[in-house]
Amino acid sequence: MLNKMIQIGKEVARQIAISFFFASLLFVMIHFFFSEKINTYLSLINMMTIVEKQVEKQETKFDSIEKRLVNYPSWGSIWATIKIPDIGVEAPVYHGDTLDIIKYGVGHYSGSYFPGEGGTIILAAHNSKQHFMYLPKLKEGAEVIIEASYGTFTYRLIDTKIIGEKEMDSLPVQTEKEILMMYTCYPVNTIGHKTKRYAVYLELVGENHEN
């Protein structure tokens, strides 16, 4: 009786081992051949649930002599629209770049400059289709347009980088030249926590002030 129970136990263990092996093999095959598409679809589904936060665009005025804003937008308000023609993006720009804010659009790092002020402007957004998912598709020379109530500013791409997550806190904000930096999570076709960021750098090539 004992021997029979041992044999039955061994047979059950063998069946479990075989099932586990084939399940693992199937998982590896699916991951190898379809992981990119699956991650892309999951990312798109996740981002489809995000709707634009209903906030009126805040009017801001610019001092052309001092080269700075007269009044700065309040935290979490929309102060501009960003357009990236080459990847079909047109999205609101919010003041602030917390996770709560960038659920709805592009976030502006409050420690950086505003268009026209002559320093580094830093914008962040999720790797969603309507925001920065296709940043890696931008080529040198691609243009980005920021439309604020006080003017329209055009930037041209000059460089791209992949940056570590921890490096973002030490990025320099320069004052010598107006540079627009935009970044998102990398790789862009995945969801969940990522330790890298894809960044693009653009120089100011045109500005048209409204006041």
Domain count, the chain: 2
Evaluate if residue 19 carries a pLDDT over 50.
Answer: yes
Least confident of 74-83, 125-134, 151-160: 125-134
In DSSP terms, 92 is beta-bridged to 81
Q: What tokens does 26 get?
A: 């199937």
CB 116 within 8 A of CB 151: yes
What HEC string does 61-119 produce? CEECCCCEECCCCCCCCEEEEEEEHHHCEEEEEEEECCCCCCCCCEEECCCCCCCCCCC
Residues 182, 186, 187, 188, Cα dihedral to 10°: -40
Instruction: In whole angstroms, give the CA distance from residue 186 to residue 127.
Output: 8
Evaluate if residue 63 carries a pLDDT over 80.
Answer: yes
Comparing 17 with 72, which gets the higher pLDDT?
A: 72
- Based on the fold, state whether residues 189 and 103 are members of the same structural domain: yes
- What pLDDT does 45 receive? 41
- Based on the fold, state whether residues 90 and 118 are members of the same structural domain: yes
The enclosing domain of 134 has a CATH number of 2.40.260.10
Instruction: In whole angstroms, give the CA distance from residue 154 to residue 167.
Output: 27
- Based on the fold, state whether residues 126 and 158 are members of the same structural domain: yes
- What pLDDT does 51 receive? 47
Encode pLDDT of 163-204 as tens digits.
Answer: 987 776 666 687 889 999 999 999 888 766 788 999 999 999
- Based on the fold, state whether residues 58 and 154 are members of the same structural domain: yes
Comparing 128 with 90, which gets the higher pLDDT?
A: 90
Encode pLDDT of 103-118 as tens digits.
Answer: 999 999 999 999 999 9
- Based on the fold, state whether residues 64 and 144 are members of the same structural domain: yes
Average pLDDT over residues 112-125: 96
Which residue range is the domain that position 153 belongs to? 54-209
Least confident of 3-7, 69-73, 99-103: 3-7
pLDDT interval class at 1 (50, 70, 90): low
- What pLDDT does 154 receive? 98
- The pairs formed by 137-143 with CB atoms below 8 angstroms and a separation of 24 or more are 137/86, 137/87, 138/84, 138/86, 138/87, 138/200, 139/86, 142/84, 142/86, 143/84, 143/85, 143/86, 143/202, 143/205
- Based on the fold, state whether residues 160 and 204 are members of the same structural domain: yes
Closest C-alpha among 41, 133, 149, 47 to residue 93: 149
- Based on the fold, state whether residues 100 and 200 are members of the same structural domain: yes
State the catalytic residues.
Answer: 126, 185
- Based on the fold, state whether residues 58 and 45 are members of the same structural domain: no
151: left (phi over 0), alpha (psi -120 to 50) or beta: left
